[in-house]
Amino acid sequence: MVVDSTPLRARRLSKSIAAPAGRIDILRSIDFELAPGEAVAILGASGSGKSTLLGLLAGLDDASDGEIELFGRELGRMDEDSRSLLRAGRVGFVFQSFQLLPGMTALENVMLPLELAGTAAPRRRAEEALEQVELARRIHHYPSQLSGGEQQRVAIARAFATRPELLFADEPTGSLDQATGGRISELMFRLRREIGAALLLVTHDAHLAQRCDRRLLLQGGVLEAA
């Protein structure tokens, strides 16, 4: 029996929304595959549907048509709880807006996905992850007490703490200045190489996209080679 190791696959994926002037087609019949350990960048103008596509592929939203397979499981046949269980410990997320819980310290934010995944010794793993991003002295600080670059480093520590097989990154440097963004991207790609995770990166930054193995352009709801 041949086991399909492809972490992510989409077939004929479409997304439409109803609007006062009629239906708007955001994504149209997209086919996509991400190989194990591969880094792929999706480029496109603001409003082109890049974040919508990432959300669909991650199982955070439902498609209007088509199929998505995450680790060989068809997401359209699963409820939200089942999708969450499938992602737990195997998928990491990095967002432009950091998405840290404001009432939790840096350490607690990083521990959360480890605890949800049932990881042994979550505190130790979280402390190691924060040390990797050079925040060992800031573990008891809350997000409001950290700079934007420090918050994104916490988010990266959280994403990599479970040593995921697949990482989704949505404009990870978009809210940072150029110098800080450069350090964050270097950190993210170094950690990805160390654990061998596949990466799906949504960005408008051509220089950041150049660090990936493959680049795709989303325009007019269609995905094509950049």
CATH topology of domain 37-61+77-225: Rossmann fold (3.40.50)
* pLDDT above 60 for 2: no
Average pLDDT rounded to a whole number, residues 112-118: 93
* pLDDT above 70 for 109: yes
User: 169-202 pLDDT, tens per residue?
Assistant: 999 988 888 888 898 899 999 999 999 999 999 9
- What pLDDT is stored for residue 19 in this prediction? 87
Average pLDDT rounded to a whole number, residues 146-169: 95
Average pLDDT rounded to a whole number, residues 59-74: 96
User: 74-107 pLDDT, tens per residue?
Assistant: 999 999 999 999 999 999 999 988 999 999 999 9
Average pLDDT rounded to a whole number, residues 154-165: 95
Question: What mean pLDDT value characterizes the chain?
Answer: 93
Contact 102, 74 (CB under 8 A): no
Average pLDDT rounded to a whole number, residues 28-35: 96
* pLDDT above 50 for 3: no
Average pLDDT rounded to a whole number, residues 122-145: 96
Query: Could you state, in order of their start, the residue ranges of all structural domains in the chain?
Result: 37-61+77-225
- What pLDDT is stored for residue 30 in this prediction? 96
